Amino acid sequence: RDWPPLSYARPDWFPGVRRPADVSYAVPDSGYTSSETDPSETTAWDHRPEISEYERWLYSFGPYPPQSTDQDRGHKPLLDVTHTKVEPVDAWKPEANPYESGFSLREPEPVPRAPEPASQGDPNCKVDLAFLMDGSWSIGKRRFKIQKDFLSEVAQVINVGVAGPMMGIIQYGDDPVTEFSLRTHSSSREVKSAIDKISQKGGLSNVGKALSYINKQYFSDANGNRGGAPNVAVVLVDGWPTDKVEEASRLARESGINIFFVTIEGPDDSEKQNLVEANFVDKAVCRTNGFYSLPVNSWFALRKAVQPLVKRVCDTDRLVCSKTCLNANDIAFVIDGSSSVGTGNFRTVLQFVANVTREFEISDTDTRVGAIQYTYEQRLEFAFGQYNNKAELLNAIKRINYWSGGTSTGAAITYAAEQLFSKSKPNKRKIMIVITDGRSYDDVRVPAEAVQRQGVIAYSIGIAWAAQDELEYIATDPDKEHSFFVDEFDNLYKFVPKIIHNICQEFNSQPRN
């Protein structure tokens, strides 16, 4: 709009300068400059005395060119030039719009983060741990979230790492789906982040199909199975499965997988008639002593099961050998009954056999035990599967009568191959434990090599006058892990833990493809 005539402003209205004395009168930088005149001429304060303070302000700071004419008062304009706006290049003004000035914004390049070093984990809990989480529709969204929180807390407590536990998750419904494998994540933080991204798949609660999946596909070299670490599968079940689990569980156990069941809000007495398979937990776990099953009354109480579960799956002394889940073996004891042994020492040998046997779960689908006594001749004391109950088997060992005679260890090994191992089941590992107290009258090398070519793992235990070279011929390589010697029969018991440990560790060290 037009300003009023300059004569409208009276000089006595602006009697003096109203700025403080210490404030400069220099004109602020407006970002403009003249293309024809020195910038100092446009920024200097007008000190002409014949004009009022208002006029002085108007000429110095008002709109340019002035919208009122000065010719009426006899003054000519201070400047009559066209101004050009110059955008500063090196200065940044908050009010500037870079798009209007012809510049475009460029996003800063992200600084690459250094890869997180792999966590070493808890070396006292070195297990390959797979969780089968329930993704069926019966669980609902809220309880599925509780299940994820439970798994995250387990991952935090268990301390995942390459030298400790490695953790993977399979979600099952109609079919099992791998969420991530054992080798995908190497720290608890990574596992927890991956769990947070899992979404519910829905479907039925086919636990049996999921157990078959982990047995045939999941615990493999490609998925991170480390061989020397026990394989553990923890099954989370809301209520009960919608398919049968017994056969799939048996095959998984015979592959060395330690199966745990965490059942939440299981069936009450009125609901048991709806079960596809009664007592499904007892048929699935390694042993029905409560160690491998954790019943939880409510989903809201699931968090209380974290510590008990972690304590059990990290009990590697029980898992490496499992004492119950080392159940894919046919074990043959080849016992020296020669005259040099004697009746008393023979009873000591039988006690040793019983102590080793006691460490295994005995059944037709678990570990089976057979025994041969030999002198110059051989006698089958009992065959694989003849006793499928541990108490009956231990009684049968106790009833073996001392024979007495010569020592033909080589012939006894051949006899064991023909009478026992020829009848082994394909899914059983074959183990032979030869116990002798003297040098054999026949060759042992050829029979030992022949039986080992059949896949038999041979242990040799020598007492007193046993020949060291023959013990090494009989034993599977490496000899130091499969051959033992003791001076006295009474010291045989000392080798029980070592033999059991070696059998169990070797069992778990053979990867499945």
Distance CA 293, CA 79 (A): 96
State the pLDDT at residue 23.
Answer: 46
Q: Compute φ and ψ for 293, nearest 5 degrees.
A: -135, 140
Share of the chain above pLDDT 70, in %: 73
State the pLDDT at residue 80.
Answer: 47
Distance CA 458, CA 472 (A): 10
Model confidence band, residue 60 (pLDDT cutoffs 50, 70, 90) = low
**219 and 74 assigned to the same domain:** no
Show which of 85, 115, 131 is a domain's final residue.
Answer: 85
| CATH number for 371 | 3.40.50.410
**127 and 79 assigned to the same domain:** no
Model confidence band, residue 3 (pLDDT cutoffs 50, 70, 90) = low
Rounded to an integer, the average pLDDT of 136-148 is 94
Looking at the domain assignment, is residue 285 inside a domain? yes
State the pLDDT at residue 79.
Answer: 46
Model confidence band, residue 30 (pLDDT cutoffs 50, 70, 90) = very low
Q: Is 70 exceeded by the pLDDT of residue 91? A: no
Residue appearing with tokens 């019966």: 138
Distance CA 314, CA 157 (A): 11
For residue 353, what are the CA distances in angstroms to 15, 60, 64, 162, 496?
122, 113, 113, 38, 9
State the pLDDT at residue 437.
Answer: 93
Lookup: tokens for 260: 């745990």
Looking at the domain assignment, is residue 242 inside a domain? yes
Distance CA 77, CA 65 (A): 8
State the pLDDT at residue 33.
Answer: 45
Distance CA 242, CA 205 (A): 5
**365 and 442 assigned to the same domain:** yes
DSSP 156-201: HHHT--TTS-EEEEEEESSSEEEEE-TTT--SHHHHHHHHHT----
Q: Which residues of 278-290 are buried (b: 16+ CB within 10 A; e: fewer)?
A: eebbeebbbbeee
**41 and 145 assigned to the same domain:** no
Q: Which domain holds residue 277?
A: 123-319
Share of the chain above pLDDT 90, in %: 51
Show which of 285, 319, 353 is a domain's final residue.
Answer: 319
Tell me which residue of 254, 210, 247, 262 sits closest to 231, measured CA to CA.
Answer: 254
Establish whether the linkage from the previous residue to 63 is cis, with ω within 30° of 0.
no
State the pLDDT at residue 99.
Answer: 46
List the end-to-end C-alpha distance of the chain, in Å, as a whole number.
89
Rounded to an integer, the average pLDDT of 335-363 is 93
**267 and 354 assigned to the same domain:** no
Q: Which carries the bigger pLDDT value, residue 27 or residue 52?
A: 52
Model confidence band, residue 327 (pLDDT cutoffs 50, 70, 90) = low
**238 and 353 assigned to the same domain:** no
For 418-444, what is each residue's pLDDT tens digit? 999 999 987 788 999 999 999 999 999
Rounded to an integer, the average pLDDT of 56-85 is 51
**157 and 301 assigned to the same domain:** yes
Question: Is 446:470 a contact under the CB 8 Å cutoff?
Answer: no
Rounded to an integer, the average pLDDT of 174-196 is 95
Which of 60-69, 223-232, 449-458 reaches the highest mean pLDDT?
Answer: 449-458
**193 and 333 assigned to the same domain:** no
For 236-293, what is each residue's pLDDT tens digit? 999 899 999 988 987 887 777 889 999 998 877 777 777 888 888 888 887 777 888 8
**368 and 481 assigned to the same domain:** yes
Q: Which residues of 468-492 are buried (b: 16+ CB within 10 A; e: fewer)?
A: eebbbbbbbeeeebbbbebeebeeb
Q: Which carries the bigger pLDDT value, residue 4 or residue 406?
A: 406
Looking at the domain assignment, is residue 341 inside a domain? yes
Residue appearing with tokens 């026990």: 230
How many C-beta atoms lie closer than 10 Å to residue 100's C-beta? 8
Show which of 301, 319, 337 is a domain's final residue.
Answer: 319
Model confidence band, residue 366 (pLDDT cutoffs 50, 70, 90) = confident
What's the whole-number average pLDDT of the chain? Answer: 81
Of 221-235, 370-384, 437-451, where does mean pLDDT reach its minimum? 221-235
Of 50-64, 392-406, 431-445, 491-505, where does mean pLDDT reach its minimum? 50-64
State the pLDDT at residue 55.
Answer: 61
Q: Which carries the bigger pLDDT value, residue 42 or residue 384?
A: 384
For 103-117, what is each residue's pLDDT tens digit? 455 556 666 665 556
**208 and 241 assigned to the same domain:** yes
Question: Is 334:432 a contact under the CB 8 Å cutoff?
Answer: yes
Question: Is 173:213 a contact under the CB 8 Å cutoff?
Answer: no
**274 and 345 assigned to the same domain:** no
State the pLDDT at residue 497.
Answer: 85
Q: How many domains does the chain have?
A: 3
Establish whether the linkage from the previous residue to 478 is cis, with ω within 30° of 0.
yes
State the pLDDT at residue 486.
Answer: 93
State the pLDDT at residue 62.
Answer: 58
Model confidence band, residue 466 (pLDDT cutoffs 50, 70, 90) = very high
Rounded to an integer, the average pLDDT of 111-137 is 82
- Sequence-distant (6+) residues with CB within 8 A of 484 are 459, 460, 461, 462, 471, 495, 498, 499
Distance CA 287, CA 281 (A): 10
State the pLDDT at residue 257.
Answer: 87
State the pLDDT at residue 61.
Answer: 59
Model confidence band, residue 395 (pLDDT cutoffs 50, 70, 90) = very high
Model confidence band, residue 59 (pLDDT cutoffs 50, 70, 90) = low
Looking at the domain assignment, is residue 117 inside a domain? no
Looking at the domain assignment, is residue 64 inside a domain? yes
Looking at the domain assignment, is residue 227 inside a domain? yes
Distance CA 315, CA 126 (A): 9
Distance CA 385, CA 362 (A): 9
Lookup: tokens for 213: 């999946």
Rounded to an integer, the average pLDDT of 151-174 is 95
Looking at the domain assignment, is residue 116 inside a domain? no
Distance CA 201, CA 223 (A): 22
Task: State which H helix or E strand residue 371 sits in.
Answer: strand 368-374
**175 and 298 assigned to the same domain:** yes
State the pLDDT at residue 508.
Answer: 52
Rounded to an integer, the average pLDDT of 349-374 is 90
Q: Which residues of 428-439 are buried (b: 16+ CB within 10 A; e: fewer)?
A: bbbbbbbbbbbe
Name beta bridge partners: 371: 333, 382
Distance CA 422, CA 418 (A): 5
Question: Is 141:200 a contact under the CB 8 Å cutoff?
Answer: yes
Q: Is 60 exceeded by the pLDDT of residue 24? A: no
Looking at the domain assignment, is residue 92 inside a domain? no
For 469-513, what is each residue's pLDDT tens digit? 999 999 999 988 999 999 999 999 988 988 887 877 676 555 433
Mapping DSSP onto H, E and C, the string for 61-109 reads HCCCCCCCCCHHHCCCCCCCCCEEECCCCCCCCCCCCCCCCCCCCCCCC
